[in-house]
Structure 1
């Protein structure tokens, strides 16, 4: 009985951290719009760099996604103008993508206009909006809960090298950082 409990907990832990996306598979094509009304095609337009993409397709997931903004900004986006000896800067594309699917599609423009006015200017280049269907992303990325955000580390060729989901925790942030460092060190 003890062995079954340990095995079950291990499987749940593994599933929680990395089994949601098909690690090694290519991130599905997604056309998204920036807050400056330019279109970006993921993963095609990642410019040969590693990328971190956060997706949310419900209001609650978007609220949780906002909890990741500052830690991800500090870790992957901010470039210290006066770096010290031990400062390390990542050269990683970072995108936060609210997904407007189904009945939420009509709210797309209204929410985009609101965010243009309210979101921190430093984050605006990193916010993309997707409007369309959800089915192909749920299947390709193994979404199983609509009320949480999903995060994917994508290599320069568009392959998923790591995924996680849920509310921000320091442990998850460290796992993402470790995945990016590990993947970049293999190049």
Structure 2
């Protein structure tokens, strides 16, 4: 029993250090394209307010990334047109970025055109496409599992204040929300 606890503790420490290894670092420059064929330079073009950026660089990770769409939309993007006294909304840039690297680069436009037709119109402004190399992002952002999406909360200057990865869970969503709220309160 003691051995199982020790192994679990070590796994938790390793996964915590991997997800927090980038905290405090500047998010690396990335040119990405919107579904309306406009280019956005991350983090430069989104500076000035907090941002949530989700990245995926494999088909399986993209599928998991899609699992985040609705809860992130509801938490950070949707603005209630008739807010009540207990409604709280965030003023946060939010982007999902499928990354086309290596052998997947030729499929970039085909997938982009397909997603234009299949992604809910409300989400389209929040989906960016990256085509290029992976190494600089893998190194800077500590990608360690190609089948996982990675999420980064950026401060208004583009510095990473929180990082997580994996499938959507309510716990992870709450951690992201807490990180955004905490960072905004510190201002």
Task: Give TM class, smaller chain.
Answer: over 0.9
Q: CA deviation at 1:47?
A: 3.4
1:19 maps to which residue? 18
Kindly indicate whether the alpha-carbon contact (under 8 Å) linking 1:19 and 1:163 is maintained by their aligned counterparts in 2: no
For this pair of structures, how many residues does the alignment match? 186
Residue pairs, 1:14-53, within 5 angstroms: 14-17=13-16, 19-20=18-19, 21-53=21-53
TM-score (norm: length of structure 1): 0.95
Residue pairs, 1:1-187, within 5 angstroms: 2=2, 5-17=4-16, 19-20=18-19, 21-187=21-187
Q: CA RMSD in A?
A: 1.4
Kindly indicate whether the alpha-carbon contact (under 8 Å) linking 2:53 and 2:97 is maintained by their aligned counterparts in 1: yes
Kindly indicate whether the alpha-carbon contact (under 8 Å) linking 1:17 and 1:163 is maintained by their aligned counterparts in 2: no
The 4+ residue runs of structure 1 with deviation greater than 2 A are 4-21
Cα distance in 1 between the residues matched to 2:46 and 2:13:
28
Look up the SS of the partner of 1:12 in the other structure.
helix
Kindly indicate whether the alpha-carbon contact (under 8 Å) linking 1:18 and 1:162 is maintained by their aligned counterparts in 2: no
Q: CA deviation at 1:6?
A: 3.8
Cα distance in 2 between the residues matched to 1:179 and 1:110:
36
Cα distance in 2 between the residues matched to 1:152 and 1:59:
20
Q: CA deviation at 1:15?
A: 3.9
Kindly indicate whether the alpha-carbon contact (under 8 Å) linking 1:105 and 1:132 is maintained by their aligned counterparts in 2: yes
CA shift digits 1:61-86 (9 cap, x unpaired):
00000000000000000000000111
Stretch deviating more after TM superposition (9-18 or 61-70) = 9-18
Q: CA deviation at 1:5?
A: 4.7
Kindly indicate whether the alpha-carbon contact (under 8 Å) linking 2:61 and 2:148 is maintained by their aligned counterparts in 1: yes
TM-score (norm: length of structure 2): 0.95
Look up the SS of the partner of 2:158 in the other structure.
coil
Q: CA deviation at 1:8?
A: 4.0
CA shift digits 1:123-159 (9 cap, x unpaired):
0000000000000000000000000100000000110
Q: CA deviation at 1:14?
A: 4.3
Kindly indicate whether the alpha-carbon contact (under 8 Å) linking 1:108 and 1:131 is maintained by their aligned counterparts in 2: yes
Kindly indicate whether the alpha-carbon contact (under 8 Å) linking 1:161 and 1:179 is maintained by their aligned counterparts in 2: yes
Q: CA deviation at 1:22?
A: 1.1
